[in-house]
Amino acid sequence: MRDLIRRILDWVDHRTGFETAVKNFLYEDIPASSGWHQVFGSIALFLFFVQAFTGVLLAFNYAPQPGDAYHSLQYIVSEITGGRLIRGLHHWGSSLMVVVVGLHMIQVALWGAYKKPREATWILGVLLLLLVLAFGLTGYLLPWDNRAYWATVVTIQIAGLVPLFGEYILEFLGGAEGVGVSTFTRFYTLHVLMLPALTVLLMMLHIHLVRKHGVTPSPRAIGQPKKKFYPGQAFKDLMAFFAVFILLFVLAATVDVPLEGLADPSDSTYVPRPEWYFLFLFQTLKFFEGRWEVVGAVILPTLAVLALLAVPFLDRAKVKRIQQRTLAFAVVGLVLAGWLALTVAAFLTTPEPVESARETSPPAADWRFLTPVELAGRAYFQREKCAGCHNLAEGEPKMGPTLATVSHRKSAEWLMEHFKNPSEVVPGSPMPTMTISDDELTCLAAFVLKLTPGNATALEVVPDYAMRGAVIYHESQCASCHVVNGSGEESGPPLNGVGQRRTAQWLEDHFRDPQKFDPQSVMPPYDFPPDDMKAIVDYMKALPPASE
Amino acid sequence: MGKDPQSSSRRTFYQRMIYGVSSLIAASLTIPAVGYLFPSRRKGDGQKGWTDAGDVSALPLNEPRELAFQRKRVDGWKTSTERSTAWVVRTERELIAFSPRCTHLGCGYHWETDSDRFVCPCHTSGFSMTGEVLEGPAPRPLDRFETRTEGNRLWLGGVRPISENGGQ
């Protein structure tokens, strides 16, 4: 059996050279000084494979269209086996990639491994760092939630600041008309087609150069016998992969990656924040005002990249032992301290999400405290089957957003526009256009605006008679003379408490012929059909007594 | 490499760890991936519940008609309402609703009055009015919807392949 496998392998190797190539790779000579400090490049390569693997898996169930992107991601994380884990791996993998690439660069900088003849290896490395950041930037938009949308609005604005080329960059990123369908498609294409291809190409060149020049030996190791990559260093690399992988897996399995509400371009209260590794840039921006903004947004970052590229040409001294590279330590330390200070400052100045404003609106504990207009809106919510796609309170996830958690950020005007033209107000919204009258839409908007996480559960249950009664009340324009729950004109008596003072029969008779009870009354008679009469009388009886 | 016993046993240890750890990493990635790509799903989840297929009071005896109706369909992250059809026959014994797909390879078939049979144009399978295979490559009788009537209206449930008791 062994013999047969050997013969097959020999046959394949003779025709492809595959086994020889693998052996050459594994039995590469490395300096005696190699060790644990040289595992970071390999980890970055490993993480790239993890990202590619999880990214392809995500793409299997992801719909690259605004709106659908959000819903399909929601489907991935809530319905599909392992979907939450795979998204977690991809999300945290990207953060770890930034960390590992950073550590890799720091290691190379401290050891001075960029020196002649390895300048090109370093430059390719800097370009790979930029690609990693570009992955982060483009991937951030793809969930198409509020966070993604607003962070990208800022990114696009910054891109537009670039002198001379700003307009072209905006055009290229599909952001000339603001963030929308074209931005999304461009970001998606960059993220899943162009950046991976570029990264693979540059990684191959980078690794080719590493092998061409060999791993940088420490000065002491020069002249010492070399060792083989396999199995000693391969073991160290793999242990490092394992440690990173365990960390990644634990993060993905235990820390939920947020998926906020569907992207909402009308939400002016949203405070966008970039991913943590961009916070230093975000903080830098705050120091430059007005026409100086371009300095923080474009010029300084460009200079920083140029400085990184120039490192091997600035430091051309002979290779020294790491213990003697005090200047390198000082520079790296300074850069890290600056980065850390900016990042911490950005964290500290991040305001709490705006959530408190909603507490001030008068509470409506249950349906009895809604105004008739709001309650009629609740009736239309039922009639139009809004509950097919929307929850009032958090519950089993539905296609549309949970209304209690999004309504406080909306205005009545916005809601009206949205009802009439859902996909124009929220790009990609699959909500059908509502074809009911403006008057009914106004009620619906009033009801939606009344929702809070505190009352939404109670408002899920409203008896039919109350909704029907409120609709009759509203359609008969009772509010032009009467107040219920603080809403309406005061020319007639307020109706809170009337149900406690009068019998149902009295109310019914009064509706049919008000003047029979008070000859001076200006109220017109209302001869409702029996069912309607019962509904509005029951509704009147159920109103809470006046509080004063 | 591996000349003295100590470095040889270290080498063996390295190799074992390398195989072990890489298998572990590969397994922790592929096992969730398999679950992700082949999710367990209850059959017929996509079209559950009953659908009102319309009024069948005017349906003549022994004359198959194709009824069109709207059917709710759950498709991944989307729930949509789509047009759907069923071939419905009222026989002396019962009201039958056939799924509009040929049981061979899923083409749409139609009723031919002249030859008094359902004919699939793809591979010329033929079925009787009650769905039995009369000719062609179809492997089983036409699939039937679960049916129930409420007044004059016909309600359709899930599709059930008919196997042994196909012809009744």
Average pLDDT over residues B61-74: 86
Confidence category of residue B2, pLDDT binned at 50, 70, 90: very low
Residues 6 or more apart in contact with residue B125 via CB below 8 angstroms = B102, B103, B104, B109, B119, B133, B135, B136, B137, B138
A29, A39, A58, A80, best to mutate vs chain B, most B CBs in 10 Å: A80
* A365 CB-near residues (< 8 Å, 6+ apart): A455, A458
A545 versus A282: the higher-pLDDT residue is A282
Q: Which residues of A touch B25 (CB under 8 A)?
A: 241-242, 245
User: Considering only A41-55, A310-324, A475-489, B47-61, which range has the smallest mean pLDDT?
Assistant: B47-61
CA of A157: how far to CAs of A294, A312, A339, B120, B144, in Å? 11, 33, 23, 59, 59
Residues in chain B closer than 8 A to A79 (CB atoms): 39, 77
Determine the Cα–Cα distance for residues A263 and A231; give it in Å rounded to an integer: 50
Cis previous bond, B5, omega within 30: no
What confidence score (pLDDT) does residue A334 get? Answer: 96
Distance, in Å, from the CA atom of A248 to the CA atom of A252, rounded to the nearest integer, reads 6
Residue A359 pLDDT: 35
Q: Which residue of A has its CA nearest to B12?
A: A231
List A262's β-bridge partners, or say none. A145
> How many Å apart are CA A415 and CA A451, to the nearest integer?
13
The reply to whether residue A81 touches residue B33, judged by beta carbons under 8 angstroms, is no
- The CA distance from B149 to the nearest CA of chain A, in Å, is 25
- Residue B47 has what pLDDT? 52
B135: left (phi over 0), alpha (psi -120 to 50) or beta: beta
Say how many residues make up chain B: 168
pLDDT at A134: 97
CB contact under 8 A, A430 and B36: no
User: A206 to each of A32, A124, A198, A462, how far by Cα in Å?
Assistant: 22, 6, 12, 66
The pLDDT, as a whole number, for residue A182 is 93
pLDDT of residue A181: 92
Q: Which residue has the tokens 């990202």?
A: A51
* Cis status of the peptide bond prior to A117, with omega within 30 of 0: yes
* Residue linked to tokens 């013999």: A3
pLDDT band at residue B41 under the 50/70/90 scheme: low
Q: Can you name the residues that pair with B154 across neighbouring β-strands?
A: B54, B149
Does A512 reach chain B within 8 Å, measured CB to CB? no
Q: What is the DSSP string of A443-458?
A: HHHHHHHH--TTTHHH
Chains A & B: contacts with CB separation below 8 Å? 67
pLDDT at site B3: 53
Spell out the residues 6+ positions from residue A1 whose beta carbon is closer than 8 angstroms to its own: none
- Secondary element (H or E) of residue A59: helix A40-60
Comparing CB atoms, the residue among A60, A72, A231 nearest residue B77 is A72
- pLDDT value, residue A340: 96
Contacts of B77 in chain A (CB under 8 A): 63, 68, 71-72, 74-75, 79
Out of A61, A63, A231, the one facing B14 most closely (by C-beta) is A231
A-chain CB neighbours of B8 within 8 Å are none
Cβ contacts (< 8 Å) between B78 and chain A: which residues?
68, 71, 430
pLDDT band at A142 (very low <50, low <70, confident <90, very high): very high
The pLDDT, as a whole number, for residue B40 is 67
**Which residues, numbered 423 to 442 in chain A, qualify as contacts with chain B under a Cβ-Cβ cut-off of 8 Å?**
430
Distance between B116 CA and the closest CA of chain A, angstroms: 44
3-state secondary structure of A143: coil
Q: A254-283 burial string, b = 16+ CB within 10 Å, else e? A: eeebebbbbbbbebeebeebbbebbbbbbb
Query: How many angstroms away from the CA of B77 is the closest CA of chain A?
Result: 5
Q: Residue A29 pairs with which residues in a beta bridge?
A: A228
Does residue A52 belong to the interface with chain B, where contact is any CB pair within 8 Å?
Answer: no
Please list every residue in chain A whose beta carbon sits closer than 8 Å to the beta carbon of residue B18.
Answer: 231, 234-235, 238
A171 pLDDT band, cuts 50/70/90, is very high
What pLDDT is attached to residue B48? 57
Nearest neighbour of B40 by CB, restricted to A68, A75, A81? A81
A396 HSE (CA, 13 A, CB side): 4
Q: Which of A49, A238, A385 to mutate against chain B (most B CBs within 10 Å)?
A: A238
Q: What is the DSSP string of A440-494?
A: HHHHHHHHHHH--TTTHHHHT---HHHHHHHHHHHHTTGGGT--BTTBS-SSSPP
Domains in chain A with CATH codes: 30-342 (1.20.810.10), 362-542 (1.10.760.10)
Instruction: Please name the amino acid found at residue B68.
Output: A
C-alpha A347/C-alpha A277 separation (Å) is 11
Confidence of residue A102 (pLDDT cuts 50, 70, 90): very high
Contact yes or no for B15 and A238 at CB 8 A: no
CA distance A231 to chain B (A): 6
CA B135 to chain centroid? 23
- Mean pLDDT computed over every residue of chain A: 88
CB contact at 8 A, A436 and A484: no
Diameter over CA atoms, chain A: 118
Give the mean pLDDT of A142-158: 91
Contact B32 A85 (CB under 8 A): yes
Q: How far is Cα A37 from Cα A21, in angstroms, rounded to an integer?
A: 26
Residues of B with CB under 8 A from a CB of A: 1, 11, 14-15, 17-18, 21-22, 24-25, 28-29, 32-33, 35-37, 39-40, 76-79
Q: Contact at 8 Å (CB) between A388 and B74?
A: no
* B59 to B52, B53, B65, B92: CA distances (angstroms): 16, 13, 8, 12
DSSP letter for B65, please.
E
Asked if A305 contacts A130 with a C-beta cutoff of 8 angstroms, the reply is yes
Residue-level pLDDT at B163: 55
Query: What ipTM was estimated for this complex?
Result: 0.76
For A509-522, the pLDDT digits (tens) are 999 888 888 888 88
Is A29 touching B (CB cutoff 8 A)?
A: no
Comparing C-alpha atoms, which of A427, A290, A455 is closest to residue A366? A455
Across the interface, which of B1, B28, B76 has its CB nearest the CB of A228?
B1
Residue from A404, A43, A33, A108 nearest A241 by CA: A43
Q: How far apart are CA A433 and CA A418, in angstroms?
A: 8
Q: Which of B15, B28, B39 sits opposite A81 (nearest CB)?
A: B39
Chain B residues close to A81, C-beta within 8 Å: 32, 35-36, 39-40
Q: Is the predicted pLDDT of residue B16 greater than 90, yes or no?
A: yes
Best A81, A250, A389 residue to mutate vs chain B (most B CBs within 10 Å): A81
- Contact list in A for residue B70 (CB cut-off 8 A) is none
- C-beta separation of B157 from B113 below 8 A: no
Q: Is the pLDDT of residue A346 over 50?
A: yes
pLDDT at A501: 84
**What pLDDT, on the 0 to 100 scale, is given for residue A129?**
97
Q: Return d(Cα B46, Cα B79) in angstroms, integer.
A: 9
> Among candidates A260, A70, A278, which has minimal Cα distance to A147?
A260
User: Is A245 in Cβ contact with B28 (below 8 Å)?
Assistant: yes
Q: So what's the pLDDT on residue A449?
A: 86
Give the position of tokens 């819903």.
A71
Select from B42, B77, B78, B80 the residue whose CB has the most chain A CBs within 10 Å, as the one to mutate to test that interface. Answer: B77
State the smallest CA–CA distance between residue A70 and chain B in angstroms: 10
Contacts of B37 in chain A (CB under 8 A): 57, 60
Whether residue A328 contacts residue A316, with contact meaning beta carbons closer than 8 Å, is answered with no
Structure tokens that stand for A3 in this block: 């013999």
Tally of residues, chain A: 548
Q: What is the DSSP letter of A37?
A: G
| Residues in B touching A72 (Cβ below 8 Å) | 76-77
Q: Which residues have a Cβ under 8 Å from the Cβ of A523 and sit 6 or more positions away?
A: A481, A492, A514
| CA A33 to chain centroid | 44
Residues in A touching B79 (Cβ below 8 Å): 399
Backbone phi and psi for residue A165, each to the nearest 5 degrees, phi listed first = -100, -5
For residue B66, give the 3-state DSSP assignment. strand
pLDDT for B108-133, tens place per residue?
A: 999 999 999 999 999 999 999 999 99
Closest in A50, A72, A228 to B76, CB measured: A72
Q: Which long-range contacts (CB under 8 A, 24 or more apart) does A250-255 make?
A: A251/A88, A251/A92, A252/A85, A252/A86, A252/A87, A252/A88, A252/A89, A252/A91, A252/A92, A253/A85, A253/A88, A255/A88, A255/A92
**Dihedral angle of Cα A40, A45, A50, A54, to the nearest 10 degrees:** 130
State pLDDT tens for residues A197-246.
999 999 999 999 999 998 888 888 878 888 888 888 999 999 999 999 99
pLDDT band at A352 (very low <50, low <70, confident <90, very high): low
